Structure 1
C-alpha cells in the first residue's frame, strides 16, 4: 500500500518500549528504530543524546511513527485507530478473527482504560474502544466479510468542542489537497443527538490514495482536543509541495516549528521532505532544523 499520510504518536521517552509492546499486542506488527538523536543536542534535550528519536511501527503493512520525546504532549481519543478484524484476514474463519480480536483487546486494555465496553452493538457484533497504557486509542471491530473491503488500520478523526460538527468541512478540505482523494460514505445524525447537530456526521469516510480515514462529529462533550500527541505526517516530493500544503493548512502561527503546524481545526501536521532521512545525515542538520518553522530543503 502506498501511504501518503503517516500518523505520528508522541511518547514520553519510552517509544522503544512502546514498539515492543505493540509488536506483541497487535497482529502482524513489527517495530524498528529508524533514527536516533545526535550525540550533540541542545541542553533541553541533553537526556536524549544518542537515544532513539523515531521508532517506526508496521501494523499489517500500515506505518505508524512513534516520536521519542518528553512529557509535553500525550495522545488522546480525538484521533484513534480502528482495527478491522475481517474474517478474510484469518482464512475466512470468523471464530479465529473474534479470538484474535479478544487477544488484542486484552493486551491493549491491560494498564489502559476502556472507553466503550467490548460488546455487541447495532453496527458490529463485537466492538470495543480502549485507550492503552500510552494514551493511544484503538477501536476494535469484528467486520462483515461481505461488506466493502477496508484495510486493517483506519485512523479516525473525531470533532468535538470548539470544532463540533466540522467533520464534513474538514474532510472536504483534506481531500481537496491531494491527488486521487475523495469523500466516501457519510451517515448523518437524523436529529440533534447530544452535542451533535442534525445533519452532522455520525460516521463518515474519506480516502487519500490507497489510504482510508474515518471521521465523526462526537455526540458527547469532551474535555480533550486535537494536539501534537497524534499528528499527521505528509512526505512531500520537493519544496513546491511543502510550500503548497503548508500554505493551505497552517492556521496557528505559534504552532509552527520544525515542520509542524496546526490547521484551522487544531489537527497537527508534519509537512516534511520525502528524503528527510538523507537530509538529516548532513553535518549540523539537526541544529539547523530546530531553527526552522516550515522546512526549507535548501537550508539543510
Structure 2
C-alpha cells in the first residue's frame, strides 16, 4: 500500500527541520536581514548534535550543544552582516562555504573519518508517545511517536506568531527592519534587535540540523542538510514571512519529500525522487512571483 502509516509517520520528521529554519528566516526577514546562510547553520547544528551526543551519551546534551553552536553561528553572521555592515548575501555565501569546509575538517580531526560518521554511542532524541492516540487511523501515526523537536517546532509557530503581534519585541523587530532611524530616536539600538533575530535564527536552524542527525537518523554525513535551508528560505519568501502559512507549506514539502522516499522503493532513480521537493520549490516560487508581478503591473 502506497499511502500507509509509515508514510504518514515520516511526514513530521521530514518537515520539522525545514519548519524550524523557516521560522528563523521569518524573524530575520522582519528585521530586514536577508539571511541565506540557513543551510550552513543547519549543517553546523547537525554536526554539533552528533558530537555532543557521542561524548555524553545523552541526546539532550547533543541538542544543547547544537543550540550553542547555532547561537555562535548567529553571532558570527551578525558581526559581519549587522555590526560591520557587510553585504548579507556575501556574508551568507561565505558562511555556507565555511560550514561545509569546517564540518568536513572537524569530522576528520575529531572522529578520524571522512564522508560519514556512524556509531552506536550516538543516541536518538526522545520521542513522545501518546498511548491510545497512536491507534487512530491516519492521525495516530502523524502525531504519536514523534521527536520532541516536532512538537517544539509546532509550538514555536504559535509562540512566535503571538510574540510578533502582541509583544514589544515584535514591534521593535518590525521597526528595526522598516525604520531604524526612528528606533534610535527613542534610544533603542536597531543593531541589537537585528542581532537578536539572527542569533534566534541560528538557534532554530541548529535545532533543525539536530532533528536531521540525532532524530531522523543517528549519524552525520557531510552536507547532510542537503538543500533544506534553501527550501526553508523559499517557504518563507512564498509565505511573506507569515508563520500561520509557513506551517502548512512546510507540511506540504514534507509530504512531497516522503513521497520521494517511497517512490525510491518502487524503483525510481534516487536522483529523480530526491529532486522532487526542489522542483516543487521552484514551481511554487515562480507562481508566487508571477502573481506579484501581475499585481504590480495593474
Q: TM-score, normalised by structure 2?
A: 0.26
Q: Which has the higher contact order (CA 8 A, sep 6+)?
A: 2
Larger helix share, 1 or 2: 2
Larger strand share, 1 or 2: 1
